[in-house]
Amino acid sequence: MTGTAPWVCGVDGCRAGWMVVTHPLDAPSTAKVSIVATFSEILLLAETLAMICVDIPIGLPERSGLGGRLCDSAARVPLGDRRSSVFSVPARAAIAEYDYAAACRQAAAFSDPARKVSKQAFNLFPKIREVDAVMTPELQTRVVECHPELAFWRLNGRRPLDQPKKVKSQPHGPGLELRLRLLHDAGYPRDVVQQATFRRSDAGADDVIDAFANAAAAAAIVRGAACRVPDRPPIDSKGLRMEIWG
């Protein structure tokens, strides 16, 4: 990455690791897309990037309230029918577990009201642990949690999207088309997004689209145009802000 223009990066988890979109702040049409195996590889670029937005929880609670963290609940408010895309992050003790039954026991023990975790949420735990292991308060000045649906909400004039990305776990054409249009309007040409194709065993089309949305959020943060919830984020036991950008 050469030149004086700041670079930004959007990251989304995928089956093969992490989907990564990078581009100079003022040249989104030149975005490069790749998959890397580990989050640590992304952090090797951290000092050359002005902002990295990743769709994975950063900042974990010791106890989980109804609806997860404050930022989880706050991010759902503007999303309308897309609110279910924001999952409730359980307590750190549950995320530390590698066995589903044990994770459910810990989640129930450290939540109020007591509740278990879904299998879908449990499947995210390895990536949450991977990020949590390397995050520091200092690093959080340029590596932050975001949510693609909150980014799309902002790109849509701060209005909820009326189409989901998936229906019954399958790609939903109208929803993907809506998001492609919003990305195009944000400076990411359709062919730049759609030419990023990967084996289905490695990543889905929605992973690519979400990584671009996260890159758009990173650019908005650098420009001072992004949204963040909540306004005054609480701090976890590692000193990390529990916040979501979009």
The tens place of each residue's pLDDT in the chain, 246 residues long, gives 545 779 999 999 999 999 999 999 999 999 999 999 999 999 998 778 999 999 999 999 999 999 999 999 999 999 999 999 999 999 999 999 999 999 999 999 999 999 999 999 999 999 999 999 999 999 999 999 999 999 999 999 999 999 998 888 788 889 999 999 999 999 999 999 998 889 999 999 899 999 999 999 999 999 999 999 999 999 999 999 999 999
Per the structure, the complete domain to which residue 80 belongs is given by 64-134
| 36 residue type, one letter | V
Asked if 45 and 18 sit in the same domain, the reply is yes
> Among the residues of 39-189, which ranges form H helices?
39-43, 70-76, 92-95, 100-109, 119-122, 125-134, 148-155, 173-185
Structural domain includes residue 159: yes
DSSP state letter for 158: S
Residue whose structure tokens are 């997004």: 193
Asked if 19 and 92 sit in the same domain, the reply is no
Asked if 107 and 149 sit in the same domain, the reply is no
- Residue 59 confidence (pLDDT): 98
- Residue 195 confidence (pLDDT): 87
Asked if 161 and 186 sit in the same domain, the reply is yes
Structural domain includes residue 34: yes
Q: Distance between CA 11 and CA 146 in Å, rounded?
A: 9
- Residue 45 confidence (pLDDT): 84
Is the pTM value of this prediction over 0.85? yes
- Residue 3 confidence (pLDDT): 52
Asked if 146 and 196 sit in the same domain, the reply is yes
Which residues is 53 bridged to in the sheet?
Answer: 10, 144
Structural domain includes residue 151: yes
